[in-house]
Chains A and B, each alone.
Chain A
Amino acid sequence: MTSPRDIHAYLAEFDDIPGTRVYTAARARVGYQLNQFAMSLMKPENRTRWKADELAYLSEWKLTPEQKQGVLDRDYNRLLDLGGNIYFLAKVFSTDGLSFLQAVSTMSGMNIDDYSAMMIAGGRSPEGVRSIRENADKAAADEAIASTDVSGMGDQ
């Protein structure tokens, strides 16, 4: 079997991936209303009402003030932190007329041209972005080597 027996260890590993929010049950719970709001934009009549008055439309949903602000700001990284899922949030950016490429680039901290160029050049390498823990261990080891080198220099 591939299934881990220890659910706590299984879930804990997801927090060790740099720059990634895995859509766990905990996130799905806090994001339920946010994601269902986004889903409502699948209907053309809802898109029309949403575009006419975003605040009024949001008031019909039980979102937290932070979630509402995140939606109004189109701050997708923030919305991921607040329980949003990318396939649901896609309804919001699609309604804005953005492609996945455009919307995803906003989360990467790159502009669309730089992001597109990175993708055409083969995408973001997994090197150095696999594990927060491994990166910290490596940084500590590098620091230890550096301080050894410095003391070595002093002996000469």
Chain B
Amino acid sequence: MARITAGVACSHIPALGVAVDLDKTAEAYWQPAFAGFEWTKQWEKAEKPDVVILVYNDHASAFDMKIIPTFAIGCAEEFQPADEGWGPRKVPTVIGHPDLAWHIAQSLILDEFDMTIINEMDVDHGLTVPLSMMFGQPEAWPCKVIPLAVNVVTYPPPSGNRCWALGEAIARAVASFDEDLNVQVWGTGGMSHQLQGPRAGLINKKWDNAFLDGLVGDSDALRHIPHIEYLRETGSEGIEMVMWLIMRGAMGKATRELHRHYHVPASNTAVGHIVLEPTP
């Protein structure tokens, strides 16, 4: 049977991808942002996940304003890195796992989550930057990836509670897949940042760290944070952190923290990263 063995959360700041692609990660500005991922790179080499269910948001790359799916699951054989306006990132093609993806899609719909199914899609920095942070610059990504795109751009995005519940349903879906697979769930985006208006540049270290604390253990308090609190406390783009709750929901009742990293800034944004494992 397939099993979820760990959860990973991290920011997906485009400038981190640029720093990797241009070999700038050792520079003084970038080094502290990247240092906190070294542990995870080694850990991932040992863990060897077969599949990562990667929760992210598209940034006006695959989806424009014509169609706005709240939750979309990528069921294709493969996904190409998107051209976001300056040419696609020179990173490996993302290989999907259509059998598991379709199984999850069907299970979720029967579980009353009305998923959008995507059979053809390019994936932008929201998905490829976390892969670079965790796996570096390999010739091919070391695992298959199921993209799960969440609308956090046009309001209202899904509630934190709904995201958490979706994670719980993903865990049930994975547990009922017959193949023996080591599956991780990643939640990406955040942490505090605001990319617009006179309040741009907002960072809230205290709130971010309380959020990281809240992912660990058996509390489910985070699922009840309303949208307005993310907006006020963590900036307009901090709302992306609802996607971390899909990962947390998929971990089940309780978690143990294996690793944590927090650094300000990378470009406009607070870099947050945590590795969790489910505990009985």
Interface residues of A (CB under 8 A from B): 1-4, 10-11, 13-14, 17-25, 28, 32, 35-36, 38-39, 41-42, 44, 47, 76-77, 80, 85-88, 90-91, 94-95, 99-101, 104-105, 107-109, 115, 118-120, 122-126, 129-131
Contacts and interface: CB of A to CB of B under 8 A. Distances in A.
Interface residues on B, range: 35 or more
Contacts of B84: 42, 94
B204 A25 contact: no
Given A101-B267, A131-B232, 13 more contacts: A2-B224, A10-B227, A14-B228, A20-B194, A39-B60, A39-B65, A42-B84, A100-B14, A107-B200, A108-B200, A122-B203, A123-B202, A126-B202
Q: Is the interface of B mostly helix, strand, loop or mixed?
A: loop
Interface stretch (B134-142, B148-156, B250-258): B148-156
B228 A108 contact: no
Interface string B155-167: 1100111100000
A13 B155 CA distance: 13
Contact of B161 (A2, A41, A126): A2
Nearest to B14: A100
Given A32-B65, A87-B59, A118-B201, A14 B155 contact: yes
B280 interface: no
Nearest to B161: A2
Interface in B160-200: 160-162, 192, 194-200
B191 to A, nearest CB: 11
B153 A19 contact: no
Nearest to A85: B153
A36 B66 CA distance: 8
Contacts of A90: 59-60, 85
B228 A13 contact: yes
Contact of A122 (B159, B205, B225): B205
Contacts of A76: 196
B60 A80 contact: no
A138 B159 CA distance: 31
Given A1-B161, A85-B60, A124 B65 contact: no
7 contacts: A2-B224, A2-B225, A80-B196, A86-B237, A100-B15, A107-B197, A115-B200
B267 A99 contact: yes
Nearest to A89: B196
Contacts of A36: 64-66
B280 to A, nearest CB: 27
B195 A124 contact: no
A124 B203 contact: yes
| A-B interface, 9 closest residue pairs, ranked by CB to CB distance from nearest | A123-B203, A19-B199, A19-B198, A94-B85, A87-B60, A124-B201, A119-B265, A2-B161, A108-B200
Nearest to A77: B197
B83 interface: yes
Contact of B268 (A28, A100, A122): A100
A39 B227 CA distance: 27
Contact of A129 (B160, B202, B228): B202
B85 A77 contact: no
Contact of A124 (B154, B202, B207, B232): B202
A3 to B, nearest CB: 5
A104 B155 contact: no
A20 B236 contact: yes
Contacts of A86: 195-196, 237
B50 interface: no
A22 B200 contact: no
A20 B155 contact: no
Contacts of A39: 60, 64-65
Contacts of B201: 104-105, 108, 115, 118-119, 123-124
